[in-house]
Structures are given as structure tokens and as C-alpha cells.
Structure 1
Amino acid sequence: MLPKVDLIDIADELTRLGDEIQRAFDDSEQAVEPTPQVLLSGLAQLLDTVRTGEAEARGESVQVLRSATGVVPDALLEHGLGLLRQLGDLARRLNLESQAQSVEVLAVPFACWMLRRGGELQHPEDVVNALSTLANRLERPEELAELYGLMREIAEGIGADRIQGMDPTDPTDPWLLLLINRGIVATRSHQPALMIEAFDAIGEQLPDHAPHFFREGMGEMESLHYPAQVREVMQRYFDTWCSGQRLH
């Protein structure tokens, strides 16, 4: 199930996870800093603060948030992502892998909430990783289509400087990973329109990676028995990008 882009839902989930992390912390003999309570209090305060900046119009939200906090939404977004990262790391050090992942995926709804209110994502690594975790959890095409919508929002919210600075030779580059993973999610959604949008972006921005992507995609069509409309779209892009290359 996808997390809701809603501050109350995010706060409720943090309360649930925080109780489990705090219990493990209390039972642990190892010294862990910062403590769960410090991070959870920071997140609760941040969510309360940005909630006061709620406004109907995007431009108004930017001004209200700036007036209420003295900083721009981008800084609040980065601060929240940093706190979630630290809480996830702490949970992992307490051997709570499931809770760590559940904390980390909250980066997606929090980022989307802030982006809808004028924020810009300058450091997308944590959010891109969280999107990958969510994609691996989902199986139903309709849920994957919904996830695709969130991936589109994140892609549109990443700062232009970060996109222009992408290193296509680095397989861990977050912009590269987002575009590739979005193409995979579009395919698994079984919606040709989403596939076309995602595939065009791969072709335009990652031309060196496109042949491999569509070659792998055709292999998936054969092994996983995708519907005919999905196979047709993949075949079209395979023919365009892999002409003359044999499928192995």
C-alpha cells in the first residue's frame, strides 16, 4: 500500500514506528546517538510547523511557510528528509530493518507534500531510494500507476541544476535511477500512455542507456507474459533503439 501524501498520516505512522524503535532502544545495551526521542520530537515539530504554512494556492504556501519559519520550503524539505534518514539509520542499527524501511519510505509523501507547496528537491537520493523500495513492494497495476504519478511529481520537483549535473556514467546517479525505475514502473502498470511518457524521457535524457533498457524490457515481455498492449509499446521502442541487435 502506498503512503498517503498527508501530514496527519505521516505523523501517525511516525508515532507507530517511533514506539517500536523506542522500545528497541530501551532494551538495547549499545549506546546510540541521537536518541529516538530527539529525532521523533524534531520530526513532530517540523510537521506541526509546515502544517501551519498550509494555504490554498501554491504561491501563497511558499510565502506563508517563509513567514512562519523564516526559511524557504526547500530548506524545510531537506531538514525533514535528513531527520527521516537519521531515524531510519538508527532503526537499522537496532536491527529493525522493516521499521527502518518503513521510516525511509515516508520521504516520498513528505517530499510530495512539500513540492506541492512550492518546494524544490535539491538532493533527491533518499526519495529516489524510497521510491525503489515502494516499487519492489507493489504488484497490482493500479497501485503501480499511482506510484508512477508520485514519481512524476518527484521528477518535476528536482532542481534543474541537479538534473543538468547528472552523471550518466554513474549507475547510482539519482536522476538516472529515477528515470529508469519510472520506466519499469510504467511497464508494470500495464498503461501504454505512461510507458510512452517514461520511455520518451529515457530516450531523450539517457540515450546511451536506452538500448540496454529496451533490450531488457523485451526480455521481460517474453518471460512474464505481459498483455498485448504492453508488448506492442515495448516492441516499438525496441525496434527504434535496438535495430540490428539480436535479443539474447
Structure 2
Amino acid sequence: MLVQNMAIPVEIRNTFEEASKIIQDTFSQSDIQSGSQVTPDQLIEAVTQFLFVFDKLDAENGENGAILFDDVNQLGDHAIGFLMDLAYWADRLRLPKSKMDIEKTALGVAHWLIRHEGELRTLEPLVNSLAASANLTQDATTLKALAQVMGDILEHAAPSVKADLEKNDPTRPWRILNFNYAIVATRTQDTDLMAKAFDTLGRNLPEDCPEFFEQGVQQAQKANYAQPVQAMLQEHFNRWATKH
């Protein structure tokens, strides 16, 4: 029997299904009223349908490259939006692991969009998932992989996100993701990766660079990072401090 390729990896699907069941069971046993909100059952059904559509599109168009006859941006954004709503329910039901697992599924959808040259319009669950993964590891190889994913998401963010029109909100996902990309790159102590992440930060959030690199210099000294890493952070701090 041939194994069918799936748009979203099997392990992510299994994670989604397990988390969904826990959320459904917990919601049904709770006394929470959904009111006018979409219920977890409705959200899970919608996401399941999107995953089916993603498989169908991959089978018809290949696993990589632009899909010309469907609005993959809209499909992906709706799927990630529904997953974000489901993560909200998990949080409301006090299911932190299920929330993380739902956000991992959103990251899988983001990978699908990137493979098909789409753009990402909703970043919050992606930022949460990547941050949680980075906080759980010290392994340099894993950190490099996470930094690569962060860079890919920043690159494929929608123009409306890159415009960064909500600069008065310090908690906006675009800002946090740029910071996390630079932080995780620093933790790898790979100066080539750091240079790429720092250039991205300078391009996207120049107004935040002086404070960021000042704190980076301090943290690198506390963590006893290698001398080239400390020197690079100091160089960038000096550069940005003179610009402001």
C-alpha cells in the first residue's frame, strides 16, 4: 500500500487530534457557556476540513510552489485564525499543553503556506509556539532550526504585517518575533546566523535596536558567551547607540 503524502505532517495531525479531544471533553464537562462564540467542536470541524483541503491541493499541485487557482493566503489565514480561537478555548479551559499543541498545528499550517509561496497574516500562535519550543531547549542544532523557521516566517509575513502600523503596542507579535529571532540566533552563538538576524532586526525595528543591543551585551556577559559573540553584540550596540 502506498503511503499518501500529507500537507501537514502526521505527527502534527496526531498532536492536533489529541489536543482537540481533550478540549472537546473538557468543554463538554464544564459549565462554560459559549454564548455567541464559536464552540470548540465547530472550530475543530473547521480546521479538520482545512487540513483535508490542504491535502487535496498538494495532491493536485505538488507539495511546493505557488498554487495559482486558489487563494492559499486566505485559506491559510482562516485556518490559523480558527486555530488561534481554539487555543483561546484551551487557555480558557486551563489546558496549557493543549494550547501549545494547537499552536504547533498553526505552525504546521504556516509551513504549508510558506511552501506554496503564500503570505502569513496572523502571527500570534506561531510566535507563541516558537517561543515555547525555544524556551525548552539549549541544544544549538535545535535552536538553529528554530531561528531558521523564525526567519522564514518574518520573510513571508504579509505586507500589512510588515508595515508595522501598531507601533504603540509593545506586545505585537511582529515585534516579539523579530526580538525572538535575534535572541535565539544569539543563543546559538553562530555569528553568521546572528548577523542575519541582527540585520533583520535593524531593518524591521530600528527604533528598538539601541535598547535591545544594550541588553544583549549585558546578557552575553552574564551567560559567558564566546568572545566573538560578545564582540558582535558590542559592535551592534555601538553602531545603534551613535544613530540615536
* d(CA) in 2 for partners of 1:56, 1:126: 23
Separation of aligned partners in 2, 1:183 and 1:111: 20
For residue 176 of structure 1, what is the aligned residue in structure 2?
175
Offset, 1:123: 3.1
Indicate the residue corresponding to 1:30 in structure 2: 32
Find out whether 1:63 has 2:68 as its counterpart. Answer: yes
Shift of 1:243: 5.6
Within 5 Å, give how 1:26-175 maps onto structure 2: 26-32=28-34, 34-54=38-58, 55-59=62-66, 62-63=67-68, 66=70, 72-175=71-174
TM-score, scaled relative to structure 1: 0.84
C-alpha separation in 2, matches of 1:221 and 1:40: 43
**Contact (CA 8 Å) 2:113, 2:120: kept in 1 or not?**
no
Instruction: Map 1:218-237 to 2 at 5 A.
Output: 218-237=217-236
Q: In structure 1, how many angstroms separate the alpha carbons of the residues matched to 2:160 and 2:74?
A: 16
Separation in 2 of the partners of 1:125 and 1:11?
20
The one-letter code sitting in structure 1 at the alignment partner of 2:221 is: E
Q: Aligned with 1:122: secondary structure?
A: coil
> Aligned-pair distance for 1:185?
0.9
Q: Cα distance, 1:18 vs. partner?
A: 1.6
Mapped to 2, the partners of 1:101 and 1:244 lie a distance apart of: 39
Q: In the alignment, which residue of structure 1 is the partner of 2:213?
A: 214
Aligned-pair distance for 1:188? 0.9
Structure 1, unmatched stretches of 5+, are 67-71
Once residues 146 and 126 of structure 1 are traced to their aligned partners in structure 2, the CA distance between those partners, rounded to angstroms, is 18
Instruction: Report the CA distance shift for 1:161/1:28 in structure 2 as closer, same or farther (over 3 A).
Output: closer
2:240 is aligned to 241
**Deviation of 1:198 (Å):** 1.0
8 Å CA contact retained: 2:80, 2:122: no
CA-to-aligned-CA distance 1:128-148 (integer Å, 9 cap, x gap): 333333332332221111001
Note if contact 1:58-1:117 (Cα within 8 Å) is conserved in structure 2: yes
In 2, the alpha carbon distance for the partners of 1:161 and 1:189 equals: 30
Give the corresponding residue for 2:4.
none
Gaps of 5+ in 2: 1-6
- Tell me how large the CA RMSD over aligned residues is: 2.3
User: In 1, distance between residues paired with 2:243 and 2:222?
Assistant: 22
For residue 113 of structure 1, give the secondary structure of its aligned residue in structure 2.
helix
Q: Given the superposition, is the C-alpha separation of residues 174 and 93 from structure 1 closer, same or farther in structure 2, using an over 3 Å criterion?
A: closer
Report the CA distance shift for 1:244/1:84 in structure 2 as closer, same or farther (over 3 A).
closer
Q: In 2, are the aligned partners of 1:144 and 1:188 still within 8 Å (CA)?
A: yes
Aligned to 1:9: 11
Contact 1:105 1:127 (C-alpha < 8 Å) held by counterparts: yes
* One-letter amino acid of the counterpart of residue 222, structure 2: S
* Aligned-pair CA distance for 1:50: 0.9
